[in-house]
Structure 1
Amino acid sequence: MNVIIDHTQHLTLEQIMAVGHGEATVRMAPATRAMLTERRAQIETSITEQEFPAYGFNRGFGHNVDLSVKAEHLSELQENLILSHAVGAGEPMDATVVRVTMLLRANSLARGFSGVRPDLAESILALLNAGITPQVPELGSVGASGDLAPLSHIAMALIGKGKVTYKGAVMDSAEAMQEAGLEPLKLQMKEGLALTNGVQFMNAIGLVACHQLKVLLQSAAINSALTAQVMLAPDTYYRSDFHAVRPHPGAVQVADWIWQLMQDSPIRNAHRDFKTDGQVQDPYNVRCAAQVLGAAHDLITQAEKSLLIEANSATDNPILLADENDQYIDVISGGHFHGMPVAVQVYSLMQALGVMASLSHQRSVRFVDPKRNKGLGRDLKWPDLTEDENSMSSGMMMLEYASASLLNSIWGDAMPSHLFNISTNSGQEDHVSMGTGLAVRLLKTIPKASHIMAIELAYILQAIAIRKRLKTIPTETEIPEWVNQELGGLKTRMNGQGKGVVFDACVIREHPLTDAEKTFSPACETLYRIIGEKGLFPVVERDRYLAEDVAGLATFLAGGGIIEAIRENLELKWE
């Protein structure tokens, strides 16, 4: 893929992720380069001739705005800014996020409102195309006057300083640039500031997370369709005419996915008759799956929309606007670097992640509960175990514990940092977003949710194998009146000891199924077959070590594996 930076066009999420993954080259449109060159000349002439004070051009930064800087020191001012602001802490950020950050900053500069040379944006693109990725510590930004620390670490690489990753090795930027045939950039008036005045680091994390959450949500819909079938639930919860009377877009979309995935399911058809089924309503984790996951869908959709607006915006301070002669020399100081518009969307993604993880966990709880798993037995133990083997087996009990632990950890990660302001810069920057730290936590939380969903998928796979092994399915029927009479008589015969005692009873009958009736919808059978062929999670017939199998399932799921597997029968389109 060849991605074009064009001030008249918008980048899409697909283009952004292609660059982030190193699957695309990037170049600037000639018309954009010409526009940037023209506007740079306009502001240089204006400041030189009029000698007016302009923040970022010939004045200090932050609360040093009152300090003027001589013309011969303007380049040094910019380099000093970068060196002094590169104070990040923690582990290096994921390379994909750093590459997306670089693309977004170049795209912002190319909008034409920063007053910089085209060389600045093109130098960033040259690093991207060469595969040179700055080492950027994950922490240190308050997400307000730009992601100052992270973006300064990226800017250091442009001027031949700091550490980068190149061809799989960590080295000095100057060394990598020399090997790649590139020259360090000499910063000019305002250009150091322009490299750091934006929350592209936070926004990049948000977009990467958004892309990953879209994969997880569709995977959650697939898990939902599988769980509904193996738990002998109906597909009526997902009918389009049902959701039309409460048409939240996300719920409508997710219901349609689950509905399609459940069609032509022999096991569903085998208990479609109420006399066979006997089930009036299922627990919320199945019955309300479309509504719950639909809410996550709406959060992700809105976040993607807002984060792409940010990705295609000019974020800087000052911003240069046109005067009455259409010269871009009107220097406007403002707050187009503030992170709050992005922070609230990052938190929306955290909410969506929490919603998906919580629903998935509740299903895992149900799978190991013999009173609620529709005849699948205690802890999904293999039905062929002898009585002695059964008594010695834990089955898949412990995976539910692991799921609960991960979910609790996600809840801890979900603290709304953007609501806790800490004033910085001697009170000049007295309201900051704190969204970048939240975004970093979001990125680290996604694998936990993937693992929770993988645990649910492990339970589903074991449950399918058990369901195919069993000869019947249990169905509830009404309690005969004579049973109620017998229970009442038993209470009477307790000689006064029955006070406060309540008897409850139900009648469970076994409905026989043929082998053909114990199969699932075509898409789900394909997924079950492909996972089996890959050996990702063999049937648990005896207690064994499960951690590595579940980790493999998590990697497969997070990478879109189960989405690709069902695509042979059905493509889930995000609309």
Structure 2
Amino acid sequence: MNLWGVLAMEVIDLSRDVSYRDIWKISVGKARASIKDNVYETLEKRRDELIEMIRRGGKCYGVTTGVGGLKDVEVDPFEVARRSRDFLREHTAGSGDPLDKSIVRGAMAILVRQLSNGYSGVSPDTVSLLVEMLNRDIVPIVPRYGSLGASGDLAPMAYIGLALTGMGFVEKGGRILRSSQALAEEGLKPLDLGPKEALSIINNTAMSTSIAVHALVAAEKLLKALEISSSIAIQAMGTPKQHVDLEMLSLKKHPGILGVAVDMHRILDGSSNLGRSGVIQDIYSYRCIPQVLGALRDSLEYARSIVDREMNAVTDNPLILGGECVSGCNFHGIYIAIAMDLLSISMIPALIQCERRISAILDKNLSRGLPPFLSENPGKSSGLMMLQYLAAALLNRAKTLSTPATQDNTPTSANHEDHVSNSLNAGLKALEIAELGLRIASIEMLVMSRALSLRGWLDGLSPLTKKIHNIAIDKLLNAETLGEAVDAMARELATFVEDL
């Protein structure tokens, strides 16, 4: 990155409340992180309170005792602090392919935000090094699996903690190297963690919340994609314009319906294809689009509010309050877990509806005069038949993933931690469903664009959907396989909807 790029980049202050979009910008490298000096002063004060409490013989879970099922074992807090690296290694019980770099960056940014509230007893150096690693793009390698979302995201966050102490592996400038080497290259010193710091780094919801941030952004893209693909679909089918009448839809009262309808009116502005078929009322998958997408839109709004609160919250345990160590359960990821389960469930009806529209336009009995499977030579060519098969396969995977993570529970730590949230898995599932959904929406765009070409209704397309039609036809004509056309369309669509 050149110097001007660094100087011109947006800087986000993580010592104040931020939004999920702020964290997303930092996570994908569109913004730098910062902390105000007065926050470091607060951290130093709370740190001193913790050390004073320890010296006067105060008891504190995880500091003067063991953790989890070892809570009744008394320990020397300074001796425990000296073996912080061992403590972190013992918690790096992750497995699977690494999480995406942007997700780990998001977790680091959220950890900075949460620790900056000043109730965790960590030193200013811990927060400072996290900010430096973010801005120099030193990102720990964190396995995908291992968190139950209570007590916090212990395993994945332990990999971040280990990197702060100069151990483990990180990615820097496209290279995988040891954390100690990466820090040395930037003139940064690994941390020598004091009492409670290792526990504060791992005992929180930062990784689950980062995944939720990325799931939200992906679901927002999906909603926009479905608004566009369904707008193309109702033009290809000549659906009655009444089905998207704003006054009629406003009577349903839910804000999401009207929001979707307004978006679709903007997308359809200039179209003369609605009602072109002459039917008085269309089938549900074409008639009920604002209602189904509206429910997804309202679920997204709820999930956003939960994620925004969680990332700005204090999710550590124990906390330093009034010079005392207070133990609780703020690390429990249930809010994120429920929000992500709701998001997963809410995407499924929209994707089912999308697949049904694809099926209808390919079916000669429902397509109102189009050839079977949109084949220009039925019998000798199966046309786009297989794209509905692909949509059905993707939908089956998405449906399977929509089973709520929160309906399961496996007690841990000798039953001391007997109820967990599964928030990280809930977020991963929601993120994958959104990514699968973008492919299904891409299939709809490809199929509907072919249908419009065969009908000869291109003259009636709105300007925005005409642009999408041209992109889709180009993908169909230039891809060697139908699968390549879908993947290329999905990539194009992900970029296209960002600008809407």
Check conservation: 2:94, 2:144, Cα contact below 8 A.
yes
RMSD: 1.8
What's the secondary structure of 1:202's corresponding residue? helix
CA distance in 1, matches of 2:466, 2:426: 39
CA distance in 2, matches of 1:141, 1:46: 31
- Sort the Cα spacing of 1:562 and 1:69 in 2 relative to 1 into closer, same or farther, 3 A: closer
- Sort the Cα spacing of 1:539 and 1:86 in 2 relative to 1 into closer, same or farther, 3 A: closer
- After superposition, where does 1:84-99 map in structure 2 within 5 Å? 84-99=90-105
- Sort the Cα spacing of 1:402 and 1:93 in 2 relative to 1 into closer, same or farther, 3 A: same
- Displacement of 1:563 after TM fit? 5.7
CA distance in 2, matches of 1:452, 1:357: 7
Which residue of 340, 353, 359 corresponds with 1:359? Answer: 353
Letter in 1 for 2:383: G
- Displacement of 1:13 after TM fit? 2.1
What's the secondary structure of 1:60's corresponding residue? coil
What's the secondary structure of 2:177's corresponding residue? strand
Q: Which residue of 1 aligns with 2:198?
A: 192
Q: TM-score, normalised by structure 2?
A: 0.94
Q: Which residue of 2 aligns with 1:479?
A: none
Which residue of 521, 528, 547 corresponds with 2:469? Answer: 528
Which residue of 21, 26, 39 corresponds with 1:14? Answer: 21
Which residue of 556, 561, 569 corresponds with 2:492? Answer: 556
Letter in 1 for 2:324: D
- Displacement of 1:131 after TM fit? 0.7
Letter in 2 for 1:454: S
- Displacement of 1:63 after TM fit? 1.8
Check conservation: 1:239, 1:259, Cα contact below 8 A.
no
Provide, for residues 315-337 of structure 1, a one-character-per-residue CA deviation record: whole Å limited to 9, x for no partner.
Answer: 01111223xxxxxx132110000
Q: Which residue of 2 aligns with 1:304?
A: 304
Q: Which residue of 2 aligns with 1:448?
A: 436
What's the secondary structure of 2:273's corresponding residue? helix
Letter in 2 for 1:129: N
Which residue of 57, 60, 76 corresponds with 1:51? Answer: 57
Q: Which residue of 1 aligns with 2:313?
A: 313
Check conservation: 1:417, 1:438, Cα contact below 8 A.
yes
Check conservation: 1:235, 1:259, Cα contact below 8 A.
no
CA distance in 1, matches of 2:430, 2:251: 34
CA distance in 1, matches of 2:306, 2:132: 28
- Displacement of 1:530 after TM fit? 5.0
Which residue of 43, 48, 57 corresponds with 1:41? Answer: 48
What's the secondary structure of 1:59's corresponding residue? coil
Q: Which residue of 2 aligns with 1:493?
A: none
Q: Which residue of 2 aligns with 1:144?
A: 150
- Displacement of 1:390 after TM fit? 3.2
What's the secondary structure of 2:34's corresponding residue? strand
Check conservation: 1:229, 1:520, Cα contact below 8 A.
yes
Check conservation: 1:462, 1:539, Cα contact below 8 A.
no
Q: Which residue of 2 aligns with 1:416?
A: 404
Letter in 1 for 2:26: V
Which residue of 83, 89, 102 corresponds with 2:89? Answer: 83
- Displacement of 1:38 after TM fit? 1.6
Check conservation: 1:465, 1:539, Cα contact below 8 A.
no
Letter in 1 for 2:404: P
Q: TM-score, normalised by structure 1?
A: 0.82
Check conservation: 1:135, 1:165, Cα contact below 8 A.
yes
Which residue of 228, 232, 250 corresponds with 1:222? Answer: 228
Provide, for residues 94-126 of structure 1, a one-character-per-residue CA deviation record: whole Å limited to 9, x for no partner.
Answer: 111110011111111001111111211111111
CA distance in 2, matches of 1:522, 1:139: 45
Q: Which runs of 4+ in 1 moved over 4 A?
A: none
CA distance in 2, matches of 1:18, 1:433: 27
- Displacement of 1:539 after TM fit? 8.8
Structure with bigger gyration radius:
1
- Displacement of 1:439 after TM fit? 2.1
CA distance in 2, matches of 1:563, 1:226: 18
- Sort the Cα spacing of 1:71 and 1:352 in 2 relative to 1 into closer, same or farther, 3 A: closer
- Displacement of 1:527 after TM fit? 2.9
- Displacement of 1:415 after TM fit? 2.0
What's the secondary structure of 1:91's corresponding residue? strand
- Displacement of 1:71 after TM fit? 4.8
Q: Which residue of 1 aligns with 2:116?
A: 110
- Sort the Cα spacing of 1:402 and 1:71 in 2 relative to 1 into closer, same or farther, 3 A: closer
CA distance in 1, matches of 2:188, 2:448: 53
Q: Which residue of 1 aligns with 2:476?
A: 537
Letter in 2 for 1:372: L
CA distance in 1, matches of 2:123, 2:379: 75
CA distance in 2, matches of 1:445, 1:278: 36
Q: Given the alignment of the two structures, is residue 546 of structure 1 paired with residue 482 of structure 2, yes or no? A: yes
Check conservation: 1:232, 1:374, Cα contact below 8 A.
no
Q: Given the alignment of the two structures, is residue 428 of structure 1 paired with residue 416 of structure 2, yes or no? A: yes
- Sort the Cα spacing of 1:417 and 1:268 in 2 relative to 1 into closer, same or farther, 3 A: closer
Q: Which residue of 2 aligns with 1:504?
A: none
What's the secondary structure of 1:538's corresponding residue? helix
What's the secondary structure of 1:405's corresponding residue? helix
- After superposition, where does 1:455-466 map in structure 2 within 5 Å? 455-466=443-454
What's the secondary structure of 2:378's corresponding residue? helix
Check conservation: 2:238, 2:278, Cα contact below 8 A.
no
- After superposition, where does 1:88-487 map in structure 2 within 5 Å? 88-268=94-274, 271=276, 277-322=277-322, 329-382=323-376, 389-468=377-456
Letter in 2 for 1:40: R
Q: Given the alignment of the two structures, is residue 2 of structure 1 paired with residue 11 of structure 2, yes or no? A: yes
- Displacement of 1:60 after TM fit? 1.4
Provide, for residues 123-143 of structure 1, a one-character-per-residue CA deviation record: whole Å limited to 9, x for no partner.
Answer: 111111111111100101111
- Displacement of 1:14 after TM fit? 2.1
CA distance in 1, matches of 2:98, 2:164: 18
Provide, for residues 292-316 of structure 1, a one-character-per-residue CA deviation record: whole Å limited to 9, x for no partner.
Answer: 0111111111111101100000101
CA distance in 2, matches of 1:288, 1:411: 20
CA distance in 1, matches of 2:348, 2:143: 26
CA distance in 1, matches of 2:379, 2:58: 86
Check conservation: 1:318, 1:331, Cα contact below 8 A.
yes
- Displacement of 1:70 after TM fit? 2.2
Number of residue-to-residue matches in the alignment: 491
What's the secondary structure of 1:425's corresponding residue? coil
Provide, for residues 204-223 of structure 1, a one-character-per-residue CA deviation record: whole Å limited to 9, x for no partner.
Answer: 11110101110110111111
Check conservation: 1:303, 1:346, Cα contact below 8 A.
yes
CA distance in 1, matches of 2:400, 2:273: 40
Mark the runs of 5 or more structure 1 residues left unpaired by the alignment. 272-276, 323-328, 383-388, 470-514, 568-575
CA distance in 1, matches of 2:41, 2:77: 26
Letter in 2 for 1:308: D
CA distance in 1, matches of 2:203, 2:298: 30
Letter in 2 for 1:183: K
Letter in 1 for 2:469: Y
